């Protein structure tokens, strides 16, 4: 099925969950925030939140840094 991931169209397996998508795209699930159709998905819901055709996901990674 086709979704939009961080502004780019992507083909992903049908019936995939947020957790499955992170694994499929090799995105480490630690220290990321996921927005699905303009709503934040809580980490404890990643495994049960299904992604559907034409969904829009934004994934932001948190990085440490500073001096």
pLDDT tens, 24-51? 999 988 889 999 999 999 999 999 999 9
pLDDT confidence bin for 15, thresholds 50/70/90? very high
Sheet with 39-41: list strands edge to edge: 8-11, 2-5, 56-61, 32-36, 39-41
Q: Which two tokens stand for residue 53?
A: 């055709």
Q: Any idea what the CATH number is for the domain that residue 37 is in?
A: 3.10.20.30
67 belongs to a structural domain: no
Rounded to 5 degrees, φ, ψ at 10 are -140, 145
Q: What is the total count of domains within the chain?
A: 1
The whole domain housing 35 covers 2-61
Asked whether the predicted pLDDT for residue 52 surpasses 90, the reply is yes
């Amino acid at each position: 099925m086709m979704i939009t991931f961080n502004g780019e169209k992507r083909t992903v397996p049908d019936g995939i969950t947020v957790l499955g998508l992170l694994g499929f795209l090799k995105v480490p699930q630690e220290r990321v925030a996921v927005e699905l159709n303009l709503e934040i998905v809580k980490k404890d819901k990643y495994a049960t939140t299904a992604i559907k055709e034409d969904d829009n996901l934004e994934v932001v990674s948190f990085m440490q840094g500073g001096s």
